[in-house]
Structure 1
Amino acid sequence: KALEIARLKDFSENIVESLNVGVLSVDLEGIVESWNTRMEQLFGVTRQESVGRQLSSLLPEELAREIDARGDQEQITGIYKQRLHHQGKSLTLNVSITPLVSKSNERIGRLLLFDDVTQRERLEEQMSQTEKLTSLGLLAAGVAHEVNTPLAVISNYIQMLARQMPDGDPRQSIIDKIVKQTFRASEIVNNLLNFSRTGAAEAADIDVNRVVEETLSLVAHPLKASQIQVVKQLGEPLPAVRGSANKLQQVFLNLFLNARDAMPGGGMLAVRTAAHNGSVEIEVADTGAGIAREHIHRIFDPFFTTKASGRGTGLGLS
């Protein structure tokens, strides 16, 4: 009988230790009686350090306060999406608090389950942002199509007018400027159309310098408005690169706009391309504040940004 009880006890403890959920129990005074391995991983406190201590001394203050506020409830309660910053980590936890009762139905403590939903929440946010960006892409494509039609009419008429202009007419230089800017506007609209196209990207040979030039034309106005000087050193000739021009353009666009945001008082954006051992090297540098060391490892995380809410989706999306 005693051996069977011991075996069942070990089996139950193994189950608790194998869970990917933090499990702890406290008595009525809030003293920790059990603390599983997942709790050690979540909060960096070992079982030996936690058992026998007050729970509120082991958890972040904000979380301990939320748990204490539910201490007298006699039913299962929960804390949904509790965000914490603990020991340099950002966590989002769902916490379930269950009263512990004895065989005689007396309350003897509480059982707490801690489910780390940080990654799940991040994926949900990514899905939401992706849906928004898809809608934005469709809107951009629609606007570009609408702008293209009157732009084509303007371009045709101004070219007709230019051909009819007599030689030496002082208005010729003005007409030439209008023609040039009309072509530039048309190029920007076509770039916007290419950028907004969705679907699986098909690999093709890419002229990297051309993609750089097209992307810079897209952001020329915001860069100029921010008093940012663009310096280009585009190597010639460059070998063709196999990939998606649209996806590469998204990367460049994010880099250029990040550079602009990093230089609110103006500065210099340098773009360099060069051939190296059959490959293409691309260097983008600016005179902005740079990336904090603690954020370097996250620069390719989708939607990671240190900007204010609503600005930036991170390089990882590209």
Structure 2
Amino acid sequence: MLPDQSKKQTIDALKKSESTIRAMFNATNSLIYLFDVKGKIINVNTPGALLFNKTPQEMIGKNFKIFFEENDFSRLRMLVDKVMETRKPINYQRKRDEKYYEINLYPIFKNSNHVDGICAFVNDITDLKKTEKVFVAIETAGGICHEMNQPLQVILGSLELLKLNIEDDDPNISLINKILSQTEKLGMITKKLTNITRYETKGYLKGTIFDIDKSSEIK
């Protein structure tokens, strides 16, 4: 076989192998980042680049530092140092733009004792977090309702008895009716809390709070 032909076949095989690896790299739903211990990005798949509104070509060769806020990069730097020290993977979670991500940092070894780089696998776990919040909300609501129901029943019963024992023209009747109405509203709130099926929020001051009406099957 001629040397030039052998060289061409070798180059073609390498290109095919590289193409296959690149296709596998981009086929997964995970966001994948490969970078050295100083933070220089060696490779990133398309989903990973889209998280920063970039293309892989715009990120490869640059340092992660320019894509992060200072505090976030400092935390990443600290975790990378820990991976280098322990030579073991690290798993953690992070919130970004109202989404939750699970991040796994894996060490890449140049030899058996030296960490040469880091491979990060990032997965969107927002839906899982919402499910967890539903369970927490249901458990919390159940505990609140259990504690509230008995005193509410006592208050309602006492108000009804009080109402039966005063005249219709008594000046206190309007006050009793008002207290009775508000107590019944509290009873409806506990009923809604016992029928929580999802986790919904609403705006409140500068943040958000749990929306009982949207989260409950009772309307």
TM, length-normalised to structure 1: 0.52
The AA in structure 1 aligned to 2:183 is V
* 1:196 has 2:208 as partner: no
CA deviation string 1:12-38 (max 9, x = no partner) = 332321222211112344321101112
Matches of 2:206 and 2:156, distance apart in 1: 33
Alignment of 1:1-318 (within 5 A): 2=10, 7-69=16-78, 70-71=80-81, 72-78=84-90, 80-84=92-96, 89-102=97-110, 104-105=111-112, 107-159=115-167, 176-198=170-192, 302-307=200-205, 312-314=209-211, 316-317=214-215
Matches of 2:93 and 2:47, distance apart in 1: 18
Q: Identify if the C-alpha distance between structure 1 residues 62 and 126 changes in structure 2 by more than 3 Å, giving closer, same or farther.
A: farther
What is the number of equivalent residue pairs in this alignment?
199
* Structure 1 residue ranges without an equivalent (≥5): 163-174, 201-300
**1:61, distance to aligned residue in structure 2 (A):** 2.4
On the 8 A contact 1:100/1:108 being kept in 2, the answer is yes
Give the aligned partner of residue 3 of structure 2. Answer: none
* Structure 2 residue ranges without an equivalent (≥5): 1-8
Matches of 2:67 and 2:36, distance apart in 1: 15
Secondary structure of the 2:54 match is coil
Q: Identify if the C-alpha distance between structure 1 residues 37 and 156 changes in structure 2 by more than 3 Å, giving closer, same or farther.
A: same
Matches of 1:146 and 1:97, distance apart in 2: 56
TM, length-normalised to structure 2: 0.72
> Which structure carries more relative contact order (alpha carbon 8 Å, separation 6+)?
2
The AA in structure 2 aligned to 1:307 is L
Secondary structure of the 1:182 match is helix
On the 8 A contact 1:305/1:313 being kept in 2, the answer is no
When the two chains are superposed, the root-mean-square deviation of aligned CA atoms in Å is 3.3
Greater fraction helix: 2
**1:39, distance to aligned residue in structure 2 (A):** 1.1
Q: Identify if the C-alpha distance between structure 1 residues 68 and 186 changes in structure 2 by more than 3 Å, giving closer, same or farther.
A: closer
**1:79, distance to aligned residue in structure 2 (A):** 5.2
On the 8 A contact 2:87/2:115 being kept in 1, the answer is no
The AA in structure 2 aligned to 1:114 is V
The percent identity for this pair of structures is 12
